[in-house]
Structure 1
Amino acid sequence: MNARTGFLARRADVLQGTNLRALAGPILICMILGMMILPLPPFLLDLLFTFNIALSVMVLLVSMYTMKPLDFAAFPSVLLFSTLLRLSLNVASTRVVLLEGHTGPAAAGRVIESFGHFLVGGNFAVGIVVFVILMVINFMVITKGAGRIAEVGARFTLDAMPGKQMAIDADLNAGMINEDQARKRRLEIAQEAEFYGSMDGASKFVRGDAIAGLLIMVINIVGGLIVGVVQHGMDFADAGKTYTLLTIGDGLVAQIPSLVISTAAGVIVSRVATNEDIGTQLTSQLFTNPRVLMITGTILVMMGLIPGMPHFAFLLLGGGLIQLGRVTKKSAEQKKTDATLVDVAPAASSPTESTEATWDDVALIDTLGLEVGYRLIPLVDRNSDGELLKRIKSIRKKFAQEIGFLPPVIHIRDNLELRPNAYRIALKGVEVGTGEAYPGQWLAINPGQVSAALPGTPTQDPAFGLPAIWIDTNLREQAQVYGYTVVDSSTVVATHLNHLVVMHASELLGRREVQALIERVQKDTPSLVDDLVPKALSVTVLQKVLQNLLEEGVPIRDMRTIMEALAENAPKLTDPYDLTAVVRLALGRAITQQWFPGNGEMQVMGLDANLERVLTQTLTSGPNPGLEPGLAHTLLTQTEKAMTRQQNIGLAPVLLVQHSLRAMLSRFLRRSLPQLKVLSYAEVPDTRTVKVVNVVGT
């Protein structure tokens, strides 16, 4: 019970402290408004001016000890509140100076009196000069420089955001960081951009404060002269001296903290983010080079020996720098000796130095890569909800469902060497496709039957090579009316990528993917996998059979049927191509359905009887059969003509041949006619009706 009571008490204290911190902002605003409206006694003014000085010093010290700008992310708000605080103090002190200034220099409090008398020696002319110099330093040097740095920093931070986001996505895809770390890094990048943008605007507060200080000084002096001479009957000289000193004291007590705050702003935006604060950076980088220290000291000593120079100051500082350089050099040599002694022991057992190359220096090539120009970065930017990222995920999912295995992750990078709107698709580091996309425009593809032309930039569909045109958004509906197929830029890239991934599916099926397939099948039919791999068939041969199927456009979704066919024939056959042929026979119904859905008539291409006889004789002529050049040219030419006739009447380009000829014709025709599919009569189910529409060889 006591423990529970203590816990509740501590929780109440924590909540109370949190509530008090949450009230700090509203209390400060109310205090600022109160100072502008309500008259304040001199004693309270002294406290508030002292608090303003302390606040400015605290802000400067915090900025000096921050490691990176985001460690003081509240600085723009602090800059705003401190500026409002100084202006409200100016209003309050102006009221007191004009109302009570005729009573003497202490009318506005001891702080203003001290700044007016002791800092400028009671001389109002000197006070005006000092005040103007402080304003010039603050306005023309520190504030202007800090504002420029913040502006440039904000611009470069925003320009670098897409590249940083893509680097995070690449690290996430590569498994170097998890989702939480990636989310944290994205948040830091966004906060950094917001910080520099806020600092760019907040620096205008300090500039306006300097201008307001100058105007307030002029108004106070003129107003004080009028009030002192007209209302209180003072002499013009006495009124000028009294009110000018009070005004100068008031201006200095406000402008000195303003100068300190401006310096803090310059420190924040001008530092480079490291693991060291600004003081450590300055001392470690400015006073650690003994050569620089000794040369500088020597120059000061030589200047001190010139007649007429202040010998003591120059010789003292020059000698001190020379001595500091000697001490620094001796310390560096001692550290180097200590490091050598420490490294001697492990050197005997480890002859390889740390500079030697290791396996960590070997960078493996990504299996699939997409590189984009800088204008396409928004399409793949996760923070801006890039449409292409969603489509790429859909491509991988669709590929896995239709082809039968999960393709490798597509690594996306920006490439400044590409044209702004260009992209490049690489397979195992080798370029397999390029194209251009224009965000904000639409690609109108001409399928061959359009009714009118459109204004735009002529091009070709990168996936299938069809004539196309890049058009503006307002022409989209008109293009659809004319018969064009209209797609956006992300769809263009995604379609091209999907086409190439499907085309190169066999190259994407690596040993890791085959092993994953085996493990997936083993969950359902463990006995089948145990009997086949590796007892009857090695993983290498299984991979080659699956790659042969994918090269001919046959999905490998039905892994159970594939493995059952291999388990039945593996003891008798060892050649991967022979095994592929028997697997195709087992998958015959699925292969036929792929090109001729349903149970209707199959309208295919066939071989002329004479050509078929010649090819059969060639195949059985010797141990290494091959096509003669003339026969090969005739076969290729006639097949291309028949396929054109087949496609012109809207039929699938499928060539039906004898089973003994299918493998040879498929390998020969695949390179020149990748769209042609070669089936054998043995693969067609007995329930299907076949009609030869076009004949090759006539």
Structure 2
Amino acid sequence: MNNLLVMLKLNGSAQARLMAGPVLIFMVLAMMVLPLPPVMLDLLFTFNISLSIMILLVAMFTKRPLDFAAFPAVLLFATLLRLSLNVASTRVVLMEGHKGPDAAGKVIEAFSHFLVGGNFAVGVVVFVILVIINFIVITKGAGRIAEVGARFTLDAMPGKQMAIDADLNAGLIGEEEARKRRTEVAQEAEFYGSMDGASKFVRGDAIAAILILAINIVGGLFIGVGQHGLSFGDAAHAYVMLTIGDGLVGQIPALVISTAAGVVVARVATEQDVGQQIVGQLFSNPNVLFLTAGILGIMGLIPNMPHVAFLSLALALGAGGWALRRRQQEELQQQERAPQEQQEAVEAAAAEASWSDVAMVDPLGLEVGYRLIPLVDHNQNGELLHRIRSLRKKFAQDVGFLPPVVHIRDNLELKPNDYRILLSGVEIGRGSATPGQWLAINPGGAAMPLDGEATTDPAFGLPAVWIDVAMREQAQIAGYTVVDAGTVIATHLNHLMHRFGSQLLGRAEVQQLLDHVGRDQPKLVEDLIPKTLSLSALHKVLRGLLQEEVPIRDMRTIIEAVTEHAPRLAALNQAGTGPDTAELLALTRVALGRAIVQHWFPGDGEIRVIGLDPGLERVLSQALTTSGALEPGLADTLLGDTQKAVERQEINGDAAVLVTTPQLRPSLSRFLRHHLPQMAVLSNAEIPDERVMRFTALIGGRE
């Protein structure tokens, strides 16, 4: 209900703004056609005066001409409103003027008697002077400035457009900023052109005011003498005074609006409004104030001069200049002290170093070019920040430990759209992303070409194309996987975090992981560290699991396996340095065998894997037993046969998993992991008894 009320209020406000223009036009037409009572005339004249004051204040507080871009239209409507008021007041003056000075309302009466003292001759002179000031000085000057401004703005448009294109090509601004600047250039030219035309309305209004005054005086004398039987003097006093009041109440707002027009077109666009510019520049030099005060002081000492006025103002200007000079001297001293204090701070820092000078390397970092900053800027609600938070949470749930915080910073040495991912200060990945566009990745089944910038997916190396937003649905229908720039970076980061998960797990993370397990099973952790195994040995076992992307979520099974086998392995180790971590890792993998197999082969169906030919298996065992390494020829043959087997597995839709003996598994895994990262090597002992295994490809022999 509350939301509905808010929407109704917003819609009502929008409707009110939408109807403002038509209502004003209707008022103008109504005042020209319908007779208005004096009370309504008072309200409308007061509204006209308040409107002119508002327009002048808005013009004073604008910092650029385009901040008041509606001024030409406002000037037109204000002029029409004032002329329609002249028509309505003329009707009332001529019809009711014989009844007395308040026949046309209190506002006209006040302007005709109070401002000119009830003397219609003085009123005529004042009115003519106001018209001359408005027509010859203000309106003509403003119109000339607007004309010249429009001409120079049009002449400068090609240069401004070229400057915008140059900044865009240099990468200093983006497409949105360039589009915004081009719009402002066009609007500025239109504004000065409109002001050049709108100033003609004001000049015409001044001419019309003189003609209306003359017509009203002649018409009032004719009606007063001919229709109402007044004497010439009485008719002149009644109708001429009302006509003068009517002219003044319309001409003063016209003068105010003309002044506003002059302020808008005459000001120079800066970060300050007109008042700040005038005060800041006119009263910024104390010498000017001192000289002015001296001249006024000398003039105040001349006999028969108004001594109080001249000497008071001279004293005020002198005091102002002294205060201004004192403030400038304080600012100068402060500026002189600043470099000295900075130099002293630099020397102190160089003389005495501390541990705060040592910059630690971030475990995981992301550096972006300047065009990618909005994706990671908190103030701009960067979407990539939210994705990275979700990514760390998902990693912790899938892998089993909380990775370090990703430290993000901009790097001006990178290309505008480039980014790079760092692990302990070393680059492990680099890519490019285009904000505002989408990356269409071809997973292998899309054949239709797309218009855009061809590239490769930074995470998996698949062919891809950067496309515009309008082509998104077309690319999805064609079979492409379409993602935005933030998703591209987040996916790349997620892929590298899983790949280098073992290096993200430090001893601090291991201790935090044990503390987390110890809150639920304290006895399990107490029996492990340090009674059975050291923290460093457990760290090596966990990193060994992560190197082959085995999750460590099941810490209970890992701790139980380590606790069971570590004492026996330590007793067998003749060096007496504790258990062999490689053997302990192999036994831990056996304990996690069901989870490992489930990761590669979900469900409980048949396991379709790659095997080794028995002859090749014997050769590999002898080579690794005698020398601990493979001969180059044997290594090339093994790698080539393995690649063919992996390709056959992928064609058949099976996982690339090699099953071999427990003795060969660690060595083959290290060798193949560098060349075929998508392949996993398992041992026979890790396969659960309830799972049926079938060799669908054989390395080193015929299937």
Do both proteins adopt the same fold according to a TM-score greater than 0.5, normalized to the shorter chain? yes
Q: Tell me, what secondary structure is at the counterpart of 1:651?
A: coil
| Separation in structure 1 between the aligned mates of residue 700 and residue 470 of structure 2, nearest angstrom | 50
| Separation in structure 2 between the aligned mates of residue 697 and residue 210 of structure 1, nearest angstrom | 94
Kindly name which structure, 1 or 2, has the bigger radius of gyration based on alpha carbons: 2
| Separation in structure 2 between the aligned mates of residue 111 and residue 472 of structure 1, nearest angstrom | 66
| Separation in structure 1 between the aligned mates of residue 659 and residue 459 of structure 2, nearest angstrom | 28
**Aligned-residue offset at 1:554:** 0.7
Tell me if structure 2 keeps the 8 A contact 1:143–1:266: no
1:96–1:409 Cα change, 3 Å: farther
1:513–1:285 Cα change, 3 Å: farther
What's 2:558 paired with?
A: 562
| Separation in structure 2 between the aligned mates of residue 475 and residue 220 of structure 1, nearest angstrom | 61
Q: Tell me, what secondary structure is at the counterpart of 1:532?
A: coil
TM-score normalised by structure 1 residue count = 0.62
Q: Is 1:615 aligned with 2:610? A: no
Q: Tell me, what secondary structure is at the counterpart of 1:659?
A: coil
Alignment partner for residue 687 of structure 1, among 678, 685, 690? 690
Tell me if structure 2 keeps the 8 A contact 1:444–1:471: no
Tell me if structure 2 keeps the 8 A contact 1:442–1:473: no
Q: Which AA in structure 2 matches 1:133?
A: V
Q: Which AA in structure 2 matches 1:587?
A: L
Per-residue CA deviations over 1:217-266 (Å, capped at 9, x if unaligned) read 3333344444444674499xx99999799647733434326746986999
Q: Is 1:134 aligned with 2:122? A: no
Tell me if structure 2 keeps the 8 A contact 1:443–1:488: yes
What's 1:445 paired with?
A: 442
| Separation in structure 2 between the aligned mates of residue 122 and residue 211 of structure 1, nearest angstrom | 23
| Separation in structure 2 between the aligned mates of residue 80 and residue 416 of structure 1, nearest angstrom | 46
1:535–1:264 Cα change, 3 Å: farther
**Aligned-residue offset at 1:591:** 0.8
| Separation in structure 2 between the aligned mates of residue 139 and residue 364 of structure 1, nearest angstrom | 65
Q: Is 1:506 aligned with 2:495? A: no
**Aligned-residue offset at 1:445:** 1.6
**Aligned-residue offset at 1:677:** 0.8
For residues 412-491 of structure 1, the aligned pairs below 5 Å read 425-427=421-423, 430=427, 432-436=429-433, 443=440, 445-447=442-444, 453-454=448-449, 456-457=451-452, 459-468=455-464, 484-489=479-484
Q: Tell me, what secondary structure is at the counterpart of 2:629?
A: coil
Alignment partner for residue 657 of structure 1, among 656, 660, 665? 660
**Aligned-residue offset at 1:428:** 5.2
What's 1:643 paired with?
A: 646
**Aligned-residue offset at 1:657:** 1.9
Q: Tell me, what secondary structure is at the counterpart of 1:399?
A: helix
Q: Which moved more, 1:643-652 or 1:260-269?
A: 260-269
| Separation in structure 1 between the aligned mates of residue 390 and residue 441 of structure 2, nearest angstrom | 23
**Aligned-residue offset at 1:606:** 2.5
What's 1:16 paired with?
A: none
Q: Which AA in structure 2 matches 1:218?
A: I
**Aligned-residue offset at 1:685:** 1.9
| Separation in structure 1 between the aligned mates of residue 505 and residue 526 of structure 2, nearest angstrom | 21
For residues 402-417 of structure 1, the aligned pairs below 5 Å read 402-408=398-404
Per-residue CA deviations over 1:155-206 (Å, capped at 9, x if unaligned) read x9xx99xx9xxxxxxxxxxxxxxxxxxxxxxxxxxxxx9xx9xx999x99x9
What's 2:523 paired with?
A: 527
1:589–1:628 Cα change, 3 Å: same
Q: Is 1:606 aligned with 2:595? A: no
Q: Which AA in structure 2 matches 1:487?
A: V
Tell me if structure 1 keeps the 8 A contact 2:220–2:240: no
**Aligned-residue offset at 1:397:** 4.5
Q: Which AA in structure 2 matches 1:526?
A: P
Per-residue CA deviations over 1:319-375 (Å, capped at 9, x if unaligned) read 99997786456555777999999x9xxx99x9669999994995864724374774x
1:45–1:364 Cα change, 3 Å: farther
| Separation in structure 2 between the aligned mates of residue 540 and residue 297 of structure 1, nearest angstrom | 81
Tell me if structure 1 keeps the 8 A contact 2:589–2:686: yes
Tell me if structure 1 keeps the 8 A contact 2:216–2:243: no
| Separation in structure 2 between the aligned mates of residue 476 and residue 351 of structure 1, nearest angstrom | 59
Per-residue CA deviations over 1:115-167 (Å, capped at 9, x if unaligned) read 99999964736732444532356677699999x9xxx9xxx9xx99xx9xxxx
Tell me if structure 1 keeps the 8 A contact 2:364–2:423: yes
For residues 543-558 of structure 1, the aligned pairs below 5 Å read 543-558=539-554
1:536–1:332 Cα change, 3 Å: same
1:504–1:119 Cα change, 3 Å: farther
Tell me if structure 1 keeps the 8 A contact 2:609–2:696: yes
What's 1:670 paired with?
A: 673
For residues 151-230 of structure 1, the aligned pairs below 5 Å read 212-229=201-218
| Separation in structure 2 between the aligned mates of residue 328 and residue 532 of structure 1, nearest angstrom | 73
Q: Tell me, what secondary structure is at the counterpart of 1:627?
A: coil
1:333–1:638 Cα change, 3 Å: closer
Q: Which AA in structure 2 matches 1:680?
A: S
Q: Tell me, what secondary structure is at the counterpart of 1:693?
A: strand
1:321–1:45 Cα change, 3 Å: same
Tell me if structure 1 keeps the 8 A contact 2:370–2:417: yes
Q: Which AA in structure 2 matches 1:271?
A: E
| Separation in structure 2 between the aligned mates of residue 119 and residue 373 of structure 1, nearest angstrom | 67
1:39–1:544 Cα change, 3 Å: farther
Indicate the percent of aligned positions where both proteins have the same amino acid. 36
1:328–1:252 Cα change, 3 Å: same
| Separation in structure 2 between the aligned mates of residue 363 and residue 118 of structure 1, nearest angstrom | 85
**Aligned-residue offset at 1:679:** 0.9
Q: Tell me, what secondary structure is at the counterpart of 1:671?
A: helix
What's 1:176 paired with?
A: none
**Aligned-residue offset at 1:545:** 2.8
1:673–1:80 Cα change, 3 Å: same
Tell me if structure 1 keeps the 8 A contact 2:75–2:257: no
| Separation in structure 2 between the aligned mates of residue 121 and residue 431 of structure 1, nearest angstrom | 86
| Separation in structure 2 between the aligned mates of residue 381 and residue 358 of structure 1, nearest angstrom | 30
Q: Which AA in structure 1 matches 2:564?
A: E
| Separation in structure 2 between the aligned mates of residue 118 and residue 554 of structure 1, nearest angstrom | 101
What's 2:89 paired with?
A: 96
1:293–1:660 Cα change, 3 Å: farther
1:569–1:91 Cα change, 3 Å: farther
TM-score normalised by structure 2 residue count = 0.61
Structure 2 runs not aligned, ≥5 long: 1-12, 154-159, 172-180, 224-231, 295-309, 571-577
Tell me if structure 1 keeps the 8 A contact 2:541–2:581: yes
Q: Which AA in structure 2 matches 1:445?
A: N
| Separation in structure 2 between the aligned mates of residue 562 and residue 528 of structure 1, nearest angstrom | 11
1:495–1:287 Cα change, 3 Å: same
| Separation in structure 1 between the aligned mates of residue 339 and residue 211 of structure 2, nearest angstrom | 74
Tell me if structure 1 keeps the 8 A contact 2:436–2:469: no
Q: Which AA in structure 2 matches 1:617?
A: Q
1:129–1:478 Cα change, 3 Å: closer
**Aligned-residue offset at 1:550:** 1.7
1:660–1:248 Cα change, 3 Å: same
1:230–1:84 Cα change, 3 Å: closer
Q: Which AA in structure 2 matches 1:216?
A: D
